[in-house]
Amino acid sequence: MKNAVEIEGIDVFYNDVQVLNNINLKVKENDFLAIIGPNGGGKSTLLKAILGLIRLRTGCIKIFDEPLNKSKEIIGYVPQFSSFNKSFPITVKEVVLMGMLKKNNKLFMKFNSGEENKAERIMKKLDIFQLKDRQIGQLSGGQLQRVLIARALAVEPKILLLDEPTASLDANVKTQIFNILKDLNEEMTIILVTHDMSAISTYVKNIACLNKELFYHGEPRLNEEILGRVYGCPVDIIAHGIPHRVLHEHKEVKHD
């Protein structure tokens, strides 16, 4: 199986502060990888590096065996929810169509019937077609997240990156979003940043634990030592609420 993403020895600095240190990571085609780790651990930075938005001090990133700058493979990106301006006066359909702008380099929002049809297909797939003329400021969090995923799908990506797609959503909506991602994973490689430990054991195929360095990469089964090292705090704080399937060798801590 091909490598969708191959990261070789990358270091990233913001000014003089190092945020990623010698990261090596191979993500196979059709993987469903969750990047987990503490706040400020460099997870979003790693996604931006895969998108080619961050200058690497050392190392390189290949997408389907091509260097980032030569890669023709298209990557879809769903940014952190909080970074999206909900007050911008734009409809659901317009947001999805905007996803095509990058590919076609259009200056004005004029789309041909093929593009309109494609946007319609994607909106139906994500069950937001009935909302197509709604202003985005009038959507629920879960609906807006589906719109942002639809926008990312408009470029027909082979790799979909998502930055905390279920943050601040309630449990039912989280499940909906993860089910959508599970379906999409049939067709594309998915890499997401998440703090949602409960979804990890159910949906993802592999995890990467990041805190400036990559502490673990593999199946979503962790032991206390790795979690303690990556989060840098006593493991029973992290273990709270994590299913034991994730904490493979975790033993019940008895409190008197």
Ligand X SMILES: Nc1ncnc2c1ncn2[C@@H]1O[C@H](COP(=O)(O)OP(=O)(O)OP(=O)(O)O)[C@@H](O)[C@H]1O
Least spacing, CB of residue 39 vs ligand X, in Å: 3
Least spacing, CB of residue 212 vs ligand X, in Å: 8
**Residue whose CB is less far from ligand X, 7 or 92:** 7
**Residue whose CB is less far from ligand X, 111 or 216:** 216
**DSSP E strands: which ranges in the chain?**
3-14, 17-28, 32-36, 58-63, 66-67, 75-78, 159-163, 189-193, 206-211, 213-218
**Residue whose CB is less far from ligand X, 15 or 105:** 15
Q: How far is Cα 241 from Cα 50, in angstroms, rounded to an integer?
A: 31
Least spacing, CB of residue 66 vs ligand X, in Å: 25
What is the torsion angle, in degrees rounded to the nearest 10, for the CA atoms of residue 232, residue 197, residue 19 and residue 28? 130
Half-sphere exposure of 175 (CA within 13 A, CB side): 2
Least spacing, CB of residue 183 vs ligand X, in Å: 26
**Residue whose CB is less far from ligand X, 6 or 196:** 196
Write out the residues near ligand X by the rule CB under 6 A: 14, 19, 37, 39-45
224, 244 in Cβ contact below 8 A? no
Paired with 162 in beta bridges are 78, 192
